[in-house]
């Protein structure tokens, strides 16, 4: 066996071991012979019982070996590079009329790109052209293109918008959310978060709007025909195709006391609402192991449904901004009692849409004043900043 072949086979074995440890015994490359019956996908598509590296004659095909090795090494390279940048902030880009994503749409802009993209009202299932939905000649309009209804991004954006509307920070502007999924999944999403009627919610079953606006398609889109979308979500959690995710996750644990009240007030409301809906955790310890027992001899646990963010007050965590574990607790509620508990009903029908990202567009009449493309998991449009771009009328 030549040195080149030994190296190729060794590399392939290493990649295969990683893939099999994550996704079970299924093969991770395609095969030349059709399968006899349909089986569930592992990490990637498998189409036959034949050795996926074999040719029609049943012998190992060196070209397939080289292609599989190249794919595995490219994935490993992307993961490695992402880990080197694990603590970096999400990349910044212009969000005004010079936004790269907006310029990429050409002279027709957002409205032209959205023509022919049909969305459905979650309220009554009526269909509407997305361009007509966004055509607002007078006043302001904020449109948040969510990820799918079972995604962290969608839940946090909706929670922030609910608080912003209650606090009057949206003024007289219309606020619209277009989420990926069915009308039924959108209804469940709205019920779980108890979203106000003032927040218009539409379902985009195929993610047509997101694709028309050029939003990110997640990690390693060049391998979408072979890599299972769930594995691509896993890679995004590592930062592949989702720069800044790890830093943002850690921010939920460490907090940021420099944030303004209008950037954090939603957390208190989300904690209370989540606990009232029974999303775990509904209560937290009144004291940490190193803290003294309360002098009043009260209960050891505090109910988040009534206390909310107040549980962090006067405990050395700071009295302003986002305190340690405050946002992380909201995310735990969203994940355990919301997303995982209702996964089958919230997720999109097409698994490929699990990695489709969203964005935000703010209109002043028919002019776009703000355009943001989500960078990945938990690196969505800053809601407070986006709403500040609404016309002051």
Q: What CATH code is carried by the domain that includes residue 273?
A: 3.40.30.10
Can you state the angle between helices 152-166 and 261-276, rounded to 10 degrees?
A: 110
Per the structure, the complete domain to which residue 11 belongs is given by 3-84
Is the same domain home to 53 and 199? no
Q: Mind listing the pLDDT tens digit for each residue in 229-270? A: 999 999 999 899 999 999 999 999 999 999 999 999 999 999
- From 84, 112, 129, the end of a domain falls on 84
Is the same domain home to 57 and 205? no
Q: How far is CA 31 from the centre of its chain?
A: 32
Residue 17: pLDDT over 50: no
Q: Which strand ranges, in their side-by-side order, compose the sheet holding 118-121?
A: 127-129, 118-121, 199-204, 174-180, 140-148, 359-364, 367-373
Nearest-angstrom CA–CA distance, 55 and 96: 53
Is the same domain home to 134 and 224? yes
Residues pairing with 203 in the sheet: 120, 179
Predicted structure pTM score: 0.85
Confidence of residue 42 (pLDDT cuts 50, 70, 90): low
Check residue 44 and give its pLDDT: 52
Is the same domain home to 105 and 71? no
Is the same domain home to 171 and 40? no
The phi, psi pair for 342, rounded to 5°, reads -125, 25
Is the same domain home to 231 and 175? yes
Is the same domain home to 159 and 70? no
Average pLDDT over residues 362-381: 96
Q: Which of 70, 135, 21 is nearest to 363 (CA)?
A: 135
Rounded to 5°, the CA angle 346-377-114 comes to 70
Q: Which of 318, 307, 321 is nearest to 264 (CA)?
A: 321
Q: Give domain status of residue 341, yes or no.
A: yes
Q: Mind listing the pLDDT tens digit for each residue in 113-167? A: 999 999 999 999 999 999 999 987 778 999 999 999 999 999 999 999 999 999 9
Q: Mind listing the pLDDT tens digit for each residue in 309-366? A: 998 888 778 888 999 999 999 999 999 999 999 999 999 999 999 999 999 999 999 8
Check residue 79 and give its pLDDT: 84
Number of domains composing the chain: 2
Residue 41: pLDDT over 60: no
Q: Are strands 140-148 and 359-364 parallel, antiparallel or unpaired?
A: antiparallel
Is the same domain home to 61 and 110? no
Residues pairing with 128 in the sheet: 119
Q: How far is CA 391 from the centre of its chain?
A: 28
Let me know: does 188 contact 347? Beta carbons within 8 Å.
no
Is the same domain home to 26 and 103? no
- Which DSSP string do the residues of 346-365 spell out, in sequence order? HS-SSGGGGS---EEEEEET
The phi, psi pair for 179, rounded to 5°, reads -105, 155
Is the same domain home to 150 and 275? yes
Q: Are strands 140-148 and 174-180 parallel, antiparallel or unpaired?
A: parallel
Q: Give domain status of residue 361, yes or no.
A: yes
Is the same domain home to 259 and 371? yes
Let me know: does 369 contact 96? Beta carbons within 8 Å.
yes
- From 62, 84, 106, the end of a domain falls on 84
Confidence of residue 33 (pLDDT cuts 50, 70, 90): very low
Q: Give domain status of residue 89, yes or no.
A: no
Average pLDDT over residues 294-302: 79
Q: Where are the beta strands (DSSP E) in the chain?
A: 118-121, 127-129, 140-148, 174-180, 199-204, 283-285, 301-303, 359-364, 367-373
Is the same domain home to 30 and 160? no
Q: Which of 363, 362, 360, 354 is nearest to 380 (CA)?
A: 360
Q: Mind listing the pLDDT tens digit for each residue in 58-103? A: 788 888 888 889 888 988 888 888 888 878 888 899 999 999 999 9
Q: Mind listing the pLDDT tens digit for each residue in 174-218? A: 999 999 999 999 999 999 999 999 999 999 999 999 999 999 999
Q: Give domain status of residue 90, yes or no.
A: no
Let me know: does 192 contact 340? Beta carbons within 8 Å.
no
- From 46, 61, 84, the end of a domain falls on 84
């Amino acid at each position: 066996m030549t040195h080149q072949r030994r190296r190729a086979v060794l590399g392939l074995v290493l990649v295969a071991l990683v893939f099999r440890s994550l996704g079970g015994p299924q093969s991770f490359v395609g095969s030349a012979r059709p399968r006899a019956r349909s089986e569930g996908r592992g990490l990637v598509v498998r189409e036959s019982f034949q050795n996926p590296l074999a040719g029609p004659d049943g012998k190992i095909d060196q070209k397939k070996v080289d292609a599989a090795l190249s794919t595995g090494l490219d994935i490993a390279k992307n993961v490695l590079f992402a880990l080197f940048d694990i603590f970096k902030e999400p990349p910044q880009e212009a969000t005004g009329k010079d936004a790269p994503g907006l310029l990429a749409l050409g002279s027709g802009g957002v409205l032209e790109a959205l023509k022919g993209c049909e969305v459905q009202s979650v309220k009554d299932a009526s269909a509407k052209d997305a361009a007509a939905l966004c055509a607002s000649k007078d006043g302001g309009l904020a449109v948040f293109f969510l990820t799918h209804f079972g995604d962290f991004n969608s839940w946090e954006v909706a929670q922030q918008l609910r608080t912003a509307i209650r606090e009057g920070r949206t003024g007289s502007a219309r606020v619209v959310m277009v989420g990926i999924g069915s009308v039924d999944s959108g209804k469940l999403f709205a019920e779980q978060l108890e979203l106000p009627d003032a927040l218009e919610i539409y379902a985009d079953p195929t993610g047509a709007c997101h694709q028309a606006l050029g939003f990110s398609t997640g990690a390693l889109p060049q391998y979408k025909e072979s890599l299972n979308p769930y594995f691509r979500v896993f890679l995004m959690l590592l930062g592949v195709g989702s720069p800044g995710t790890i830093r943002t996750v850690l921010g939920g644990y460490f907090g940021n006391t420099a944030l303004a009240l209008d950037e954090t007030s939603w957390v208190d409301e989300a904690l209370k609402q989540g606990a009232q809906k029974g999303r775990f955790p509904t209560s937290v310890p009144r004291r940490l192991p190193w803290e003294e027992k309360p002098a009043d001899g009260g209960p050891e646990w505090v109910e988040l449904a009534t206390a909310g963010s107040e549980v962090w007050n006067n405990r050395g965590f700071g009295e302003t901004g986002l305190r340690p574990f405050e946002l992380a607790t909201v995310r735990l509620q969203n994940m355990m009692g919301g997303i995982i508990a209702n996964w089958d009903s919230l997720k999109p029908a097409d698994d490929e849409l699990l990695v489709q990202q969203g964005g935000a567009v703010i209109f002043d009449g028919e002019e776009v004043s703000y355009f943001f493309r989500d960078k990945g998991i938990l690196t969505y449009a800053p809601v407070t900043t986006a709403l500040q771009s609404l016309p002051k009328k």
